[in-house]
Amino acid sequence: MKVAFFGRTSNGKSTTINAMLQDKILPMGMGHTTNCFLSVHGLDTPDPYILVPGSNDKKNVKSLGQLAHALSEEKLDPSSLVQVFWPKSSCKMFSEDVVLVDSPGIDVSNDLNEWIDKHCLDADVFVLVANAESTLTVAEKSFFHKVNQRFSRPNIFILYNRWDASASEPDTMKLVKDQHLSRSISFLADELKCVDKGQVEDRVFFVSAKETLNTRMLEHQGMPKGDGAIHFGGFDERQLEFENFEHKFEECISKSAIQTKFESHALSGLKIANMVEVRLQKIVDSASQQRSKLEKTKMEEKNRLEYVKEQLISCKHDFKCRIEEITSEVEVQVKAAMTEEIDGLALLVNEFDPPFLTDTASFKTYKEELCNHLKSGLERNMTDHCSNFKTQVICGAQEEMKDRLRSLLPPETPEVSYEPSTPVLDFQANYPLAVSRLLTGFHEDIKFHFSLDWRAISGNLGCIPTLLAIALGVNILGWKFIALCGVLFTLMYTWQWVLWTCSGKKEAFKRQFVDHTSKQLRVVVSLISDGCSKRVKRELTSTIATLESLVQREMENLEENIIKLDQEITRLEKIKNHARILGNEASRLKSELSQFITEVWFGSKI
């Protein structure tokens, strides 16, 4: 804590400090003595020293009288500072880290502002050492007005030194003292407004620093108090007054330091604490609002997730039922188309008309080509009959599924598209007919067979009425009729023999081929229609799986969002709780600062 002593030249500033230190440390004497600023610091070691400006070399304290004395040939700048380090054991105040600053007379320089800025801005207490034989001068008042402009209510003590001179005028002593006190009250309370009027008497003292210094030095040498010196009237009162000054000074210095240095900081801290409390409350409110919004969003997301799950289950059930209906329709359609194609198989076979040769190699090639013709024709016709129907059914079902599941996806989801993994229009690729296998067990018979031989007759019950008519005619008409019938039989046989050419053989082969293939194909109609329906079922099931994966992805997104919302809600709750704790701390700090300011303010008036 720093105490700055100011006053006019020869008012006893250095003597007062020496009296407080109980030794002649600082240069003192008549006229202008101190020519620069001197700061006295406590030292833990017993060996004192001084530091001059611009150097860290420790100099002997005895050189201080030469360096800092105004009569010295080595002049220092009046605003320069010489630091004196003196053992703490010599002065109680040093143990409290008090620094005493002596100054040149305020009437020897006009650089008052520079002095204040350089050496006084960090001072806790100012001591104005005035001459009791005169009144406060304009220079003294002017200096402290400048101090007052730079400080918030500076702590000022006024010492009216050389009060021992009043002993020669006992009749006017009381009047002079009252005059000094009245003018001090006017100066400190009315002009500077740094203390209340009731406090001024604790800030103004009437002392004789030289008497106190001499007395204390003698006591320090072991002489009894009051011996070895000439004392004027009122000596004891002046000694008590100086001690009272020191007591009030020591009592006030810590409060003064707090008031001078820390009141503005406390006020600033109070303002900051209030601002922080307000901002933290805004954070609490904002976190609460955001948390409420996120809780609402989370509930909406959870409700949507449950809705999507329920709808997905419902859609899958409805789609399965719809697929069963569609597969049944496809099976019926394919079965009907296949039956129609089998009924028209002869037309398809008759379209095949390459040369019909009966040698073994040619006939084998003919049968293979006929099989390929029948296969491609059947598959082509089945494609024509069924593909449009299947395409409409499958595409319609797919669109129905997409529309149904699209409602479960958020609006910002891209348009749902589905491309079948394999084409659904190509009957040949998806439902191949193994016609060559159908020929298994087929044995053509292209030998000549008379239509009226006994085998044909035995295999044709429709000839029985004709034979009965012939037998009856024989009985009636006799052998002539028999002869006629024989001629007709011979002619018919000859005619059929003549007509049994390659063309006849081809027609007989095709007829036999159609009869055999038709029977075989009718056996596999159900197998083919079932295969078609299963293919359609796989297509639609695949569509459901693809669309379901999109919905599942949306459900996963919803679950991830819910987790993120939970995390953000937890984070906001932590922020809110932490901000509330800090807000309580700010409120507590405000209360403590307010109490601190009140105690400092009113405590300084006691």
pLDDT score at 203: 92
Confidence category of residue 185, pLDDT binned at 50, 70, 90: very high
Alpha helices in 57-195 (DSSP H): 64-67, 112-115, 138-150, 170-185
Cα–Cα distance measured from residue 517 to residue 374, given in angstroms and rounded to the nearest whole number = 10
Q: What is the strand order of the sheet 49-51 is part of?
A: 49-51, 81-87, 37-43, 99-102, 2-6, 125-131, 155-161, 204-206
Which of 77-86, 164-173, 287-296, 379-388 shows the lowest per-residue confidence on average (mean pLDDT)? 379-388
Crossing angle of helices 263-343 and 360-406, in 10° steps, is 150
Residue 241 CA to its chain's centroid (Å): 68
Average pLDDT along the chain: 78
53 is written with which tokens? 């400006």
DSSP code of residue 227: -
Cα–Cα distance measured from residue 386 to residue 425, given in angstroms and rounded to the nearest whole number = 9
Cα–Cα distance measured from residue 429 to residue 510, given in angstroms and rounded to the nearest whole number = 27
Which residues neighbour 244 within 8 Å (Cβ) at sequence distance 6 or greater?
205
pLDDT score at 429: 44
317 is written with which tokens? 């059930």
pLDDT in tens, 409-419: 776 665 555 45
| β-sheet bridge partners, residue 161 | 131
Which residues neighbour 108 within 8 Å (Cβ) at sequence distance 6 or greater?
9, 32, 78
- How many Cα neighbours within 13 Å face the side chain of 271? 6
Q: Is the model's pLDDT at 2 over the cut of 80?
A: yes
Quick check: 4 and 99 in contact, CB under 8 A? no
pLDDT in tens, 309-341: 888 888 888 888 888 888 888 888 788 887 887
Cα–Cα distance measured from residue 535 to residue 531, given in angstroms and rounded to the nearest whole number = 6
pLDDT score at 420: 46
Nearest to 375 by CA among 364, 365, 367: 367
| Contacts within 8 Å (CB) and 24+ apart, 291-298 | 291/569, 291/572, 291/573, 291/576, 294/565, 294/568, 294/569, 294/572, 295/569, 297/565, 298/562, 298/565, 298/566, 298/569
pLDDT score at 605: 45
Quick check: 496 and 504 in contact, CB under 8 A? no
Q: How far is CA 597 from CA 254, 255, 261, in A?
A: 14, 11, 12
- Specify the higher pLDDT residue, 140 or 70: 140
47 φ/ψ sector (left φ>0, alpha ψ -120 to 50, else beta): beta
- Alpha-carbon torsion (15, 18, 23, 24), positive or negative: negative
Crossing angle of helices 13-21 and 209-220, in 10° steps, is 30
Q: Is the model's pLDDT at 606 over the cut of 50?
A: no
Q: Is the model's pLDDT at 424 over the cut of 50?
A: no
Cα–Cα distance measured from residue 8 to residue 4, given in angstroms and rounded to the nearest whole number = 14
Cα angle for residues 203, 208, 209 (degrees, 5° grid): 90
Which residues neighbour 388 within 8 Å (Cβ) at sequence distance 6 or greater?
none
Cα–Cα distance measured from residue 39 to residue 2, given in angstroms and rounded to the nearest whole number = 9
49 is written with which tokens? 């020293």
371 is written with which tokens? 């099989």
Residues 267-294 as b or e (16 or more Cβ within 10 Å = b): eebbeebeebbeebeebbeebeebbeeb
311 φ/ψ sector (left φ>0, alpha ψ -120 to 50, else beta): alpha
Cα–Cα distance measured from residue 320 to residue 22, given in angstroms and rounded to the nearest whole number = 111
Alpha helices in 359-426 (DSSP H): 360-406
Q: Exposure of 161 by Cβ count < 10 A (0-12 exposed, 13-18 middle, 19+ buried)?
A: buried
What does the pLDDT average to over 585-595?
A: 88
Q: Is the model's pLDDT at 460 over the cut of 90?
A: no
DSSP code of residue 69: B
Cα–Cα distance measured from residue 335 to residue 445, given in angstroms and rounded to the nearest whole number = 31
What does the pLDDT average to over 2-12?
A: 88
Cα–Cα distance measured from residue 3 to residue 115, given in angstroms and rounded to the nearest whole number = 14
pLDDT score at 568: 92
Which of 149-163, 322-336, 429-443, 586-600 shows the lowest per-residue confidence on average (mean pLDDT)? 429-443
pLDDT in tens, 144-172: 888 888 776 788 999 999 999 888 888 88
DSSP codes of every residue in 437-505:
HHTTT-----S---TTSHHHHHT-GGGHHHHHHHHHHHHHHTHHHHHHHHHHHHHHHHHHHHH-SHHHH
Confidence category of residue 206, pLDDT binned at 50, 70, 90: very high
Nearest to 583 by CA among 285, 266, 263: 285
pLDDT score at 539: 80
Share of the chain above pLDDT 90, in %: 17
- Number of helices and strands in the chain (H, E): 16, 8
pLDDT score at 182: 93
pTM (2 d.p.): 0.47
- Specify the higher pLDDT residue, 263 or 419: 263
Alpha helices in 221-262 (DSSP H): 235-257
- Specify the higher pLDDT residue, 202 or 431: 202
Confidence category of residue 507, pLDDT binned at 50, 70, 90: confident
Cα–Cα distance measured from residue 41 to residue 88, given in angstroms and rounded to the nearest whole number = 8
What does the pLDDT average to over 468-478?
A: 61
